Structure 1
Amino acid sequence: MSSSGSMNAWETFHSGGGDAMARPEIRQSWIRSRESGVDPEHLDLLPREYNDDASLVTVGSQVISSCADLLVGDTASVALFDDTGTLVWRWETQPELRRELERVSVVQGHQFVEDGVGTCGVGLSMAVHQPTVVVGTEHYKHAWHRFTCATAPVVDPITRRRLGALNVCCLAEDTNRYVIAAVMAFTERIRTALRDVATPRQRRLMDAHLRFRGEGLAVVTLDSEIMITDDGFTDHLPDRATLWAALTESGPATTELALPNGRVAYSRPVTPGRFEDGCVLVFSSTAPPTPDDDPLGRAEADVIRRALIDCRGNKSAAAQQLGISRGTLYQRIRRYKLD
């Protein structure tokens, strides 16, 4: 989209004219911004408290400083934002760019969420949970039309929890395809560095989680402090503290954990016979059985499911344990929708 086309789209949108010819994701963000009451003409950001000693800042700042060669020759800013969208650390290739950004309120302690400041790289990325690029006049705030922002979420490689976001900002006229490439490169190096500084306990949990998850099983791995999940999987599960309390109450010898929503989790301690090193909860991929289901079918499905879990998804080993052929096992898996 040309700069003039983007400007026409922005002006058309705010003048209440016909459909603004903006990218669909930008137009939807503009609509959400307007519905949130964001003023496009005024910079009314307020400072908020933030933690500049968090692991994202400690690790991320070191990675960015050591990878500055990715932006050699460019006029660019690299910034880290916490999980609330608050700017917590920044670095510029040139002092003049820092001064220009500060003049339009891009400073540490300001929050950049969509319902607060409208469409911007960080706010849009947090809203759609994926990397984004907002170019020049695609920004909702008029004061930010001179800049392009590319943003990607930064996710803890152990807990899979979003720690925040990384943003690369440049002048709009300098926008090129390398902006998003730089964002992805920085983000991947931070993820690797976070993994490298993980404690032995965290790595042990992650290894156990990946061991079961690698066999196509839905799993949650936790201990007294950490819970590792996949995106969206725990939306309908109790929180970590509740799950851990239920586990410790039942004891490490338990093999099943009944949850309030009717699902059953199969318990596999990281270290057999003890919970101190954490536990993997393996979930059936099917919904909980209803009273109208065939009871014999439910029983057979449960036996097959247990065998698959015990054999870590290895179908040949599960068939041998069950005393049936692989073909028969595959038929039962399809019948009971255990894939």
Structure 2
Amino acid sequence: MGDAGAVQHVLDRLEDGGHGPGTVSDAIQLSWRRSADAGLPPDHVAVPFDPDVDNESRLRWAAAPALSTVSADLSDVPVALLLSDGSGHLVERWAGSIRTSDQMDGIGAAPGYLCREELVGTNSIGLSLLTAAPTVVLGHEHYADNLTGVSCASSAVIHPATGKLLGVINATCPADAYHPFLPALVGRVVAETRQRLLDDGPVPSPALRAAFVTARRRAKGPLAAVSANTMFFNTAAGPILTAPGDRALLWEWAERAIHQHDGRLQAVVTFSSGPRTTYCEPVYEGMVLAGALVRLGPATASTASGSLQTDFGWSKLTDSERSIAAQVARGLTNRETAALLFISPHTVDYHLRQIFRTLGVQSRVELARIVERNR
């Protein structure tokens, strides 16, 4: 069955079930085409299995309490809650009954199975991994015939400090039992998981905290203190440092600048809220770099010009380069990006060097900011 034949098979099945193509979103239809391009036969997709599951990850630790609580509340409802890591590998499942567990086993919705789109076709876990956004796939919207018996809702878990996509929370139920409350339920679990990750953050260096407290007393503008794993800031800096990834971006720049120069440093840094002239000075605990004090200046004409220049560079990227940039910006490694796009890691390496050169960036975090601004 060729690519066109595979998509036609799905369309015919849709029509036979009383659903016209107009009832399915463009995002779902694009997913069907990607699934067909991956060579997946829609009449039956075998879900791959890898028994090497990471049950000790921070994601599993953070998500398990909320998943267990919600699952207990749904003990009389035929819904299974699933947790996948950032590669679509199912880590654990919570189901309220043996009957629900048996149905999930029959479709490969159990620990060890892999749910990336290029492996099993259209599904909400795969779509959330691609988009880092909440997704719903109803029974008839699945690419594979053997998955049409269930509907599912998923949402990505983004680390609140680093902005990295850690995995996906999913709720799956029989197609005829789907209810619009499922996405909200998944959203609740994701919110509690992120809060648990945030509450368990590392204790900042005493020297960094002391330096921040002293500087804050005389600061007249936005001020932050940042390290590899913590960040705190005054009220004026709050509206500027609005995204989880801003901490990683700020520390990556400050650490590189401190190691390359001495004394107080200045550069234009593009945050999620826009580019600003930024100043930093190192804070040491003994002989060890504990972090940096950062002062944020106003956006100036020169920084706006720099932002426009970067955006112009984005327009010069090819479609392939933009696709690679989008995956790298999600936190995927070069090897993971290669597997997702069906190209070699060497090709990703080559294109990534070209992308960095065209955009004038030096890190993946800076690249992520540009991708976000040009969505």
Match of 1:10 in 2: 10
Residues 75, 193 of structure 1: CA spacing in aligned structure 2 closer, same or farther, 3 A cutoff? same
Match of 1:47 in 2: 49
Which protein has the bigger helix share? 2
Distance 1:217 1:88 in 2: 33
Q: If the length of structure 2 is used for normalisation, what is the TM-score? A: 0.60
SS in 2 for 1:200: coil
Match of 1:267 in 2: 279
Match of 1:101 in 2: 104
> Match for 2:21: what amino acid?
A
**Residue 249 (structure 1) shift:** 2.7
Match of 1:175 in 2: 178
> Match for 2:80: what amino acid?
S
Distance 1:221 1:266 in 2: 16
Match of 2:141 in 1: 138
> Match for 1:61: what amino acid?
A
Residues 85, 55 of structure 1: CA spacing in aligned structure 2 closer, same or farther, 3 A cutoff? same
Distance 1:165 1:289 in 2: 33
**Residue 277 (structure 1) shift:** 2.7
Deviations 1:72-101 (A, max 9, x none): 531111111111111111111112111111
Contact 1:150 1:180 in 2 (8 A): yes
Contact 2:83 2:167 in 1 (8 A): yes
- Establish whether residue 160 from structure 1 lines up as the match of residue 163 from structure 2: yes
Residues 221, 124 of structure 1: CA spacing in aligned structure 2 closer, same or farther, 3 A cutoff? closer
Q: How does 1:1-339 map to 2 (within 5 A)?
A: 10-12=10-12, 20-21=21-22, 22-48=24-50, 49-201=52-204, 205=226, 206-208=230-232, 214-216=238-240, 228-229=248-249, 240=252, 244-251=255-262, 253-257=263-267, 266-269=278-281, 275-278=289-292, 280=294, 286-288=304-306
Contact 1:220 1:280 in 2 (8 A): no
Distance 1:40 1:201 in 2: 52
Distance 1:249 1:92 in 2: 53
**Residue 45 (structure 1) shift:** 2.9
Distance 2:240 2:113 in 1: 42
Residues 40, 191 of structure 1: CA spacing in aligned structure 2 closer, same or farther, 3 A cutoff? same
**Residue 250 (structure 1) shift:** 1.6
Deviations 1:195-241 (A, max 9, x none): 1111123997454368665233689989xxxx525xxxx9xxxx94x
SS in 1 for 2:232: helix
Distance 2:192 2:128 in 1: 19
Pick the structure with greater CA Rg: 1
Q: If the length of structure 1 is used for normalisation, what is the TM-score? A: 0.66
Residues 108, 218 of structure 1: CA spacing in aligned structure 2 closer, same or farther, 3 A cutoff? closer
> Match for 1:20: what amino acid?
P
Distance 2:296 2:242 in 1: 6
SS in 2 for 1:81: strand
Distance 1:64 1:219 in 2: 26
**Residue 10 (structure 1) shift:** 3.3
Contact 1:220 1:282 in 2 (8 A): no
Residues matched between the structures, number: 264
Residues 217, 64 of structure 1: CA spacing in aligned structure 2 closer, same or farther, 3 A cutoff? closer
Contact 2:71 2:95 in 1 (8 A): no
Residues 220, 121 of structure 1: CA spacing in aligned structure 2 closer, same or farther, 3 A cutoff? closer
Match of 2:353 in 1: none
Deviations 1:86-132 (A, max 9, x none): 11111111121111111222222222111221100101112222100
Q: Name the stretch that deviates more: 82-91 or 204-213.
A: 204-213
SS in 1 for 2:67: helix
Contact 1:117 1:141 in 2 (8 A): yes
**Residue 36 (structure 1) shift:** 1.9
SS in 1 for 2:306: coil
Distance 1:70 1:210 in 2: 40
Distance 2:244 2:296 in 1: 7
SS in 1 for 2:186: helix
Match of 2:324 in 1: none
> Match for 1:46: what amino acid?
P
Unaligned runs of 5+ in 2: 1-7, 210-224, 270-274, 309-375
Distance 1:45 1:151 in 2: 18
